[in-house]
Structure 1
């Protein structure tokens, strides 16, 4: 018998589009969202890691970021592209979490199939893998055909005050949750939440913990 979806249960993936460790976690989360699609919805929340005074030229953080790339690659198996490394070394690129988080916010409103994890993965691939500019709408426009979304409508929403307000609200929600770092994965059931992961975890470890939580909830419901 196929496992059934449990009511009022979801997985909250709290990340930031500019987070390198989230890029490392992204293939794991994309696989998990696909394999659990019929059992457990995955909701992606953006944390606003680089906003306000923290947003600015990549030159501020590049010495730290460049040192961390090798560790992320070694632990997670992802690769940071040559174009991204060139972007970082040049230093003038503006690191700002708001534009890509707003793009994800718009995607969640327009996509009827709940593919937000796949879109978040595609956005991070475009930036960290290909060195694309996440402040430029053209980056998202190139991703939309794969999801069957129309660019003009997406652009109207991406440029809207409503999308900006919704994005700021999501940042505030994450702060109120007390999340200390990205990525964080929370198994939510009803009004209760259990931290499944803080930081990167390989798929097998994550799956084992998730299956245990699902089993616990199913047993409580009996």
Structure 2
């Protein structure tokens, strides 16, 4: 376990990428786990952290990558029962670029809509065959959530937003993660990787429950 400056605090980091298909598969379990943790441990802070799968590019996704991702979707569907709309691969021009979606989520975080934007983006991508690598799709989602679409569109590709994203990715990669999604708990100055079970929230809950007994309270 690594040291980190979170003394006397309990924080659970949910590490993800908005376009990570395994994060989509984990969504029902994570939503249930998150709600249970909030009810049982209100003193536990839960923070979302972006990992950043793929940097910006205007190049179309190579055919080999398309095949690999479609196979991944099928694997997740078979293992977890997750729904995917494969029309995406026909209707859209896929690019291996998740940084635009990550920047969009950062802007949504600024107005308290990170989770709403994240889940709306997943819906758009996996069920509605809309491309979250395209700025137009991200602006549409922002508009649907009542955000200032003009300000959002300007900030989406600004140097400041990109710098913020790169800083967060750098910080996230110092966590003891094992891909996306990952759960990491910062507890009394230590970083602990939480076991993640895609089908059973209880696995992670039991580990977190045990760790919460070790929370140090400042007197």
Q: Which runs of 5+ in 1 are unaligned?
A: 1-6
- Distance in 2 between the 1:198 and 1:36 partners? 14
Aligned residue in 1 for 2:55: 51
Residues 1-222 of structure 1 aligned to structure 2 (within 5 Å): 8-37=9-38, 39=42, 40-51=44-55, 57=61, 59-87=63-91, 92-111=93-112, 115-144=113-142, 147-198=145-196, 200-217=198-215, 220-221=216-217
The residue number in structure 2 matching 1:4 is none
Aligned residue for 1:99, secondary structure, equals helix
Unaligned runs of 5+ in 2: 1-7
Q: Is the contact between residue 177 and residue 183 of structure 2 (CA under 8 Å) also seen in structure 1?
A: no
In 2, are the aligned partners of 1:183 and 1:199 still within 8 Å (CA)? Answer: no
Contact 2:196 2:204 in 1 (8 A): no
**1:174 CA drift (Å):** 2.1
How far has the Cα of 1:165 moved from its partner?
0.7
- 27-36 vs 96-105, greater mean Cα deviation: 27-36
Once the 2 structures are TM-superposed, how far is the Cα of residue 44 of structure 1 from its aligned partner? 1.7
Query: 2-side partners of 1:148 and 1:42: how far apart?
Result: 24
Q: Deviations over 1:138-182 (max 9, x none)?
A: 323333366443222322321321101111111212223353411
Q: 2 CA distance for matches of 1:186 and 1:15?
A: 11
Distance 1:52 1:104, change over 3 A: closer
- How far has the Cα of 1:96 moved from its partner? 0.4
RMSD: 2.8
Structure-2-length-normalised TM-score: 0.79
Give the SS at the match of 1:13. strand
Distance 1:83 1:50, change over 3 A: same
Report the 3-state secondary structure (helix = DSSP H, G, I; strand = E; otherwise coil) of the residue aligned with 1:95. Answer: coil
Greater fraction helix: 1
Tell me which moved more, 184-193 or 171-180: 171-180
Question: Which stretch shows the higher mean deviation, 36-45 or 59-68?
Answer: 36-45
Q: Distance in 2 between matches of 1:163 and 1:175?
A: 18
Q: Distance in 1 between matches of 2:16 and 2:151?
A: 26
Structure having greater relative contact order (Cα 8 Å, sep ≥ 6): 2
